[in-house]
Structure 1
Amino acid sequence: MRKSLPFTKPLAYGQQYYAFPLGILASHPQANDWVLSNYLQVAYVTDPSIGIDFSFYLYDYSISPWLETLKLNRELANAQSGGVNGLVRTAISADFYVYLTLNERYVPERLRYDQGLDGLHDVLVRGVDDEADVFEILGYDRNQVFRSSTVPQDELAVAYHSVGRDPFFEVPLTLYRFNPRGTYELDLQFIRQSLIEYLESFNTSLHFRALRTPWDLVYGMATYEELEKYIDRYARREVEYDILNLHTLWEHKRLMLARLTRCAQSAPALAELVAPYQRVERLAWALRLTMMAHGDAPQKSFMNEAAPILHAVRDTERKLLTQAVGALDHSGGA
């Protein structure tokens, strides 16, 4: 068998757990309105024991009306004919992508490969090539470039079974398949409510307390204060260089710009906000580049450069999104 399922690099790809479903959906333009009605709220984790700081907030990143999603634990995955490799092959043949955790010391072109060190990371399997005896996978390579690569079929099984017993990595093996019968129209009322929650730093997880204990995180506009603390600690060399927080900030503005542009088609009053918000997106991009330019050795001047940009992003965005809520009030989004 030789098969590779379609995947398009999405607007947001900083964290793989949301990049993978978004990349599947990005190959299908009819799913765009669902994406732009969601991925609006953000949250910051202040617990240093958790490896993720700043991210989009969704109740479950794997759920979409445009995706058929199946989840198996390791017990059921191992019980399939041919083990995990058999399951992956069957899934790909039925147009399912496979999301799972691997030990990347056994995965070529990954950061920990051939280094004798364990490195657990999530990947998405999108294809199989029996002639080359490989699976095609997606994720960040050893140079931190988000792209496709391959792993020998036997090595995938080894990497899958070498993640240890830590419950954190006992994540479900998730199968995604695009659902062509999905339906979802751009929801201006939901977008308006989400904008208000973002502006007011509301704990959006409270909406799901019937299913899960609410998450005590920092939400919405209040995350700017946490981002400023983070870049200050980086400038003082109290934390290692990691572009992910500022990359995600830029992704959020990139998606917000696309959202405003799309909403303006249904709410023309928003059209005048698109160009000013494009400046917000460009400022977020400039902030990201500023940190990249300093890299592992930030100079004392970093905070003098970065803080004013962050403040400009925050203040301009607050003004424009407040205006967006008002425009939606008068366009049937209330």
Structure 2
Amino acid sequence: MTINPRTASQDLPSLPSIRIPLPAKPRVKIPLVDSPIRGYMMYSYHLAVTFASVPAWPWFFGNFVQLQCDSRQLELGDFLKYSSMPKGELHFTEGTSRFNPWLADAPGFDKQSFLGGYGSPSERVVERLEQGYCVETFVDEYYIPVLYNGGNLHFRHRLLVFDCQEEERRLHIAGFDKKSQYSRLICTFEEFDDAFASVQPQQFEKTRLFKPRQDVFPAPGFDPLRLIHLLRDYLGGKNTLLSPDLHGSGQQGDSFRYGVDCYSFLAEFIQRIAVRRQAGEVLGVDFRGFHVLWEHKKCMLDRLKWLQRQDYDLPDSLIAEYGRVQSLCEQARSRVVMCARGLLPPDRGHLVEVPRYLEQARAAEVPILRRVLEILEAASTSPAA
């Protein structure tokens, strides 16, 4: 605000203008924590927001058990956009925010309705941040230099904005950095505006506002009968309980495999990639499914330890045995990651060793989880249950 003393009296001498700074607008500080799952951002974003706001671990450990994959991807014809990499994806069934009880009714907007007449996307994001929301939206990563694809590849992907420095015109974002590490990063308003303007999300892909409800009733918690059902389905390679439609896009699951059958899917996927590469085809190696498999084992190991702390009679030896399952899946993941990044020559036998790790992990996991299932079933039918 400029004060001109001459407006008070024409007889006063001319004085320099004085600029009085306006007080900064108060803004809710939005918490964010590390997600237990980072293989796909459609899991990591909503979990990072949820765990920072509500006591969600009991709910988490009663879910995130079932895995699914699409056998059609074994034809190696479904490529990651703008790449020569056939997809080999593995997903947590009902892992996305639409199945999160604290965020299931999170407001969703298409591109135009989100802007709502504002001059720039960044201005709209800042307004939502001031209201206490994290904003999950879709951008072209090419225009955000700090992201993995920034400046290198036009790649449409979801992005989470969780904070801002309005005076410096910078947004705090979460994504994969130049080393492909899931990180908290910063971009400018201008970079975000260009990235937002350059993509057209699919019809079902909405910009969502994440602010976990504190008043969900009944309060989501651990459901032992649900866990028993999920473990039975996982071990049986079937799905009798969950909706496999991750995005709400209406996808059908006729070609899906579930549970332990995902081991054979990944083994066959990597075998087909190896054969095609040895025949001279230029194919990238998708390691994301192997990363999710490893994260599944990490979460399962944490689940078993948590169940033991809840007085379920899981012996230490059983939990230690499951640690070997996680280790074998980590070895498979590491081998695929190193081949994908050129740290190991993938066409000299390194890829074909991966199915052996997977089979060893499957053979070790099945009897352990069957024993866990027996313990849970016994506890659920005891008089004290």
Give 1:59 shift.
6.8
1:306 to 350, 354, 364: 354
Against the structure 1 CA distance between its residues 333 and 41, is the aligned structure 2 distance closer, same or farther, given a 3 Å change threshold?
farther
CA-CA distance at 1:50 after TM superposition? 6.4
Q: 1:160 aligns with which of 190, 196, 201?
A: 196
Q: CA deviation at 1:99?
A: 0.5
Corresponding residue SS for 1:132: coil
SS in 2 for 1:284: helix
Structure 2 residue runs without a partner (length 5+): 1-24, 81-86
Indicate the residue corresponding to 1:232 in structure 2. 271
TM-score, normalized by length of structure 1?
Answer: 0.89
**CA RMSD in angstroms, aligned pairs only:** 2.6
Q: Partners in 1 of 2:381 and 2:156 — Cα distance? A: 44
Instruction: Tell me which protein shows more helix as a share of its residues.
Output: 1
Structure 1 residue 11, shift from structure 2 partner: 1.5
How many angstroms apart in 2 are the aligned matches of 1:140 and 1:328? 38
SS at 2:56 equivalent: helix
Identity of aligned residues (%): 23
Where does 1:103-252 land on structure 2 (aligned, <5 Å)?
A: 103-115=140-152, 117-164=153-200, 168=202, 171-182=205-216, 183-204=219-240, 214-216=252-254, 217-236=256-275, 237=277, 239-252=283-296
CA offset at residue 64 of structure 1?
Answer: 2.1
Deviation by residue 1:269-297 (Cα, 9 ceiling, x = unmatched): 22442221111112211222222343432
**Number of residue pairs matched by the alignment:** 330
Letter in 1 for 2:147: R
Structure 2 CA distance for aligned equivalents of residues 242 and 206 of structure 1:
26
Q: CA–CA distance in 1 between the matches of 2:204 and 2:101?
A: 26
Residue 327 of structure 1 deviates from its aligned partner by 0.9
The answer to whether the 8 A contact 1:261-1:271 is kept is no
Alpha-carbon displacement from aligned partner over 1:34-69 (angstroms, at most 9, x marks no partner): 111111111112334364521111174333233362
More deviation, 224-233/46-55:
46-55
Q: Is 1:275 the equivalent of 2:320? A: yes
**Distance of 1:204 and 1:249 partners within structure 2:** 21
CA 1:233–1:333: 2 relative to 1, 3 Å: farther
More divergent stretch after superposition (291-300 vs 16-25): 291-300
Could you tell me how far apart the structure 2 residues matched to 1:159 and 1:294 are? 31
Unaligned runs of 5+ in 1: none
Q: Is the contact between residue 260 and residue 271 of structure 1 (CA under 8 Å) also seen in structure 2?
A: no
What's 1:256 paired with?
300
Give the Å deviation of 1:234: 3.7
Cα–Cα, structure 1 residues 29 and 281, in superposed 2: closer, same or farther, change >3 Å?
A: farther
Rg larger in structure: 2
CA contact (8 A) 2:29 2:132 kept: no
Distance 1:4 1:81, change over 3 A: same
Residue 84 of structure 1 deviates from its aligned partner by: 2.7
1:174 CA drift (Å): 0.6
Q: What corresponds to 1:61 in structure 2?
A: 97
Distance in structure 2 (CA, Å) of the matches to 1:24 and 1:333 = 36
Give structure 1 regions of 4+ aligned residues with deviation exceeding 6 angstroms: none
**Structure 1 residues 213, 103: CA separation in 2 closer, same or farther (over 3 Å shift)?**
closer
Normalising to structure 2: TM-score of the pair?
0.78
Amino acid at match of 1:286: Q
The 8 Å contact of residues 68 and 91 in structure 2, kept in 1 or not, is answered as: yes
| Residues 169-178 or 295-304, more deviating | 295-304
Summarize the Cα distance change of 1:208–1:137 in structure 2 as closer, same or farther, 3 Å threshold.
Answer: closer
